[in-house]
Amino acid sequence: MAVAVAAARFGGPSRGLGQAGLLLLRRLGDRRLPRSQPRRLQQQHFSSLDDKPQFPGASAEFIDKLEFIQPNVISGIPIYRVMDRQGQIINPSEDPHLPQEKVLKFYKSMTLLNTMDRILYESQRQGRISFYMTNYGEEGTHVGSAAALDNTDLVFGQYREAGVLMYRDYPLEKFMAQCYGNVNDLGKGRQMPVHYGCRERHFVTISSPLATQIPQAVGAAYAAKRANANRIVICYFGEGAASEGDAHAGFNFAATLECPIIFFCRNNGYAISTPTSEQYRGDGIAARGPGYGILSIRVDGNDVFAVYNATKEARRRAVAENQPFLIEAMTYRIGHHSTSDDSSAYRSVDEVNYWDKQDHPISRLRHYMQSHGWWDDEQEKAWRKQSRKKVMEAFEQAERKLKPNPKLLFSDVYQEMPAQLRKQQESLARHLQTYGEHYPLDHFEQ
C-alpha cells in the first residue's frame, strides 16, 4: 500500500516515476522485504493425471483426444406412456388409479372441446366470425396437464390450449363471447378470436406473437418463488415457438433463477406448414433441457394418463425444489393450423387419417373407459347429442349479443389517457358523426 501511495505522489498513473521515484521505491522495498526471506510464490506441480480443470463455466474433466460431441448423445430420448393405443394399461405400477368421475371429466372435457371446435370452425367458414384455430388431436395434452395442476397455478398459453380452460370449467358462453367479440367478451372485443384470458381461472390472456409468453411466465414463476406462494406456473408452446429466441432466454432464466415452472411443449409435427424435419436437427425439444440444466421428459401426448402423471410429478417437484421442468408432449395436429391455412398443400390425407383414426387421444381414453365398464355406445350417443346442444345454445346466444361500444377501443391501457390517444378518440367520434350511416352502428352497444 505504501508503495502505491508513493507512486501516486510521484506523478500518478499517467506519468513516469522518474529516477528519484524508482530509487525511493527500491529503498522502500528493501526495508519491507528482508533478503533472508524472499517473497516468491511456490508453484505446485501436478502430474497430468491429477490435473483438474478449474474453469468456472463447466464441470468436466480434461481429455487428451480430439473429439467432437455428436448431436444425439443418446439414441433418442424415450417416450413415456401409460396406455397403449387400445387403452390398455402397459405397466400397472404407472396406472394413476383415477376415480371414475375424474376420468369421465377428462373425457367430457376433451369431447366437448372437439364439438365446440367443429361448430366454431364452420362458423368461420360461413363468415360469422373472422378467424379460428381448432385443437383436433391435441385434446389429451390440454386435459391431462390441466388435471394435474392446482386451480391456483398460473397458466400462460400460446393459442391452442382451450382445453385447459375447458377443464377449469370456463363457460361455453365465454368461449363464444370471445370469438364473437360481443359485449360479454372479457376482452371487450379488442382481441382476435381464440385469444382467451380469465383472471378468476388464473389463465393469462393469450398474445399472438410466438413465444412472448415464455419469458413472461418465467418472471411470474420467479415472483411466486419470492412470495413463497406454494404455486407454480405452466407455460405452453409449440415446437415451432421453441425456435424463437424468447424460448432460449426463458429456459436459461428459469434454470439460473431456479423458478417453479413447467415448460410444456406440444410437439405436434408442424409449425404451420414447416415440418419438424426442417425445424431442427437435434432430438426434438426435450433434448434441449439438459443443456440449460433443466430436468426434462418426453411423453406420449395422445395418452392422457402419461401427460397427467408427468405433469403431476413435475408440479410436485417444482414446488418442493424450486426448479424448472420441461415436458415435451409428442402429438399430432390433425386440423389445419388455422382457418387461414390449407394443410393439404404440404401433407397427405392418408397421413392425417392415420392419426385421426388410429391414434387419437379421445378414442384411446374411450377404449379405457369401455374396458372398465364406465362407458358404452348408448352413453356415447347421448353425450354427443347433449354436448352439441350445449354448444349450439351458447353459439346462438353469442350471435344475438351486441358488439361493445366503440369507445372501449381507447380504454384500459392508461390510467390517464394521453393527449395523442384522446385526439384519436375525438377523430373517430367526428368520423362516425359524419359517416355513421355507412356503418352498422345498431349492432354496437351505445
Cα gap 197→202, rounded to integer Å: 8
Nearest to 265 by CA among 299, 293, 294: 299
292-316: buried (b, 16+ CB within 10 Å) or exposed (e) per residue?
Answer: bebbbbbbbbbbbbbbbbbbbebbe
Cα gap 127→122, rounded to integer Å: 9
Burial class (CB in 10 A: 0-12, 13-18, 19+), 219: middle
* Contact status, residue 86 vs residue 80, Cβ threshold 8 Å: no
Supply φ then ψ for residue 139, to 5 degrees: -60, -35
Distances (CA, A) of 41 to 36, 37, 38, 54: 15, 12, 10, 19
* Contact status, residue 328 vs residue 267, Cβ threshold 8 Å: yes
Supply φ then ψ for residue 63, to 5 degrees: -130, 160
248 is catalytic: no
Cα gap 228→226, rounded to integer Å: 6
Which of 130, 208, 340, 427 is labelled catalytic?
Answer: 208
Which of 109, 338, 343, 387 is labelled catalytic?
Answer: 338
* Contact status, residue 194 vs residue 131, Cβ threshold 8 Å: yes
Q: What is the DSSP string of 186-197?
A: TTTT-S-TT---
208 is catalytic: yes
* Contact status, residue 333 vs residue 137, Cβ threshold 8 Å: yes
Which of 337, 343, 360, 387 is labelled catalytic?
Answer: 337
Which of 122, 393, 396, 426 is labelled catalytic?
Answer: 122
Cα gap 139→331, rounded to integer Å: 10
338 is catalytic: yes
Helix ranges, 257-348 (H): 289-292, 304-321
Residue in the structure block whose three cell numbers are 383436433: 136
The strand pairing partners of 345, in sequence order, are none
Nearest to 312 by CA among 293, 291, 297: 297
145 is catalytic: no
Count Cα atoms within 13 angstroms, Cβ side, for 245. 0
- Cell numbers representing residue 215 in the block: 419469458
Helix ranges, 49-90 (H): none
Sorted by sequence, the CB contacts under 8 Å of residue 89 that are 6+ apart come out as: 82, 83, 95, 368
Cα gap 67→83, rounded to integer Å: 41
Residues known to be catalytic: 122, 208, 337-338
